Structure 1
Amino acid sequence: MSLQATPLPVRPDGRQSPAALAVATGVRRLLAAQGCASVTELTLATGRRADIVALTPAGCLWIVEVKSCLADYRADGKWGEYRAFCDRFFFAVPPDFHTGLLPAETGIVVADAFGAEILREAPEQRMAGARRKAMLLRFAHVAANRHHALVDPAAAFGWMD
Structure 2
Amino acid sequence: MIPATPPILPPTPGQLLARGVSRHLIGHDFMPLTEFVPAPGLRVDVIALGPRGEIWVVECKSCRADFVADRKWQGYLDWCDRFFWAVDADFPAELLPGETGLIRADAFDAEILRMGPERRLAPARRAALTRSLARTAARALHGLRDPRHAMG
Matches within 5 A, 1:1-161: 18-157=12-151, 159=152
Whichever residue aligns with residue 42 of structure 2, its letter is: R
Contact 2:104 2:113 in 1 (8 A): yes
TM-score w.r.t. the length of structure 2 is 0.90
Q: Counterpart of 1:114 in 2: which secondary structure?
A: coil
In the alignment, the residues of structure 1 paired with residue 17 and residue 128 of structure 2 have an alpha-carbon distance, to the nearest angstrom, of 28
Shift of 1:130: 1.1
- Aligned partner of 2:3 in structure 1 is none
Q: In 2, distance between residues paired with 1:72 and 1:90? A: 15
**Contact 2:62–2:87, Cα closer than 8 Å, also in 1:** yes
Report the Cα distance in structure 1 between the residues aligned to 2:94 and 2:132, rounded to whole angstroms. 33
- 3-state DSSP of counterpart to 2:73: helix
CA RMSD of aligned residues (A): 1.8
Separation of aligned partners in 2, 1:102 and 1:154: 42
TM-score, length-normalised on structure 1? 0.85
Gaps of 5+ in 1: 1-10
Distance of 1:130 and 1:45 partners within structure 2: 15
What displacement does 1:152 show? 1.4
**Identical columns (%):** 47
Q: Output the CA distance in 1 between the equivalents of 2:30 and 2:109.
A: 15
Report the residue type matching 1:83 in the other structure: L
The secondary structure found in structure 1 opposite 2:99 is coil
Structure-2 separation of matches of 1:19 and 1:40: 14
Question: 1:45: how far off?
Answer: 2.0
Q: 1:118 offset after TM fit, Å?
A: 0.4
Deviation at 1:18, TM superposition (A): 2.3
Which runs of structure 1 show a deviation greater than 6 angstroms over 4 or more consecutive aligned residues?
Answer: none
Give the length in aligned residue pairs: 146
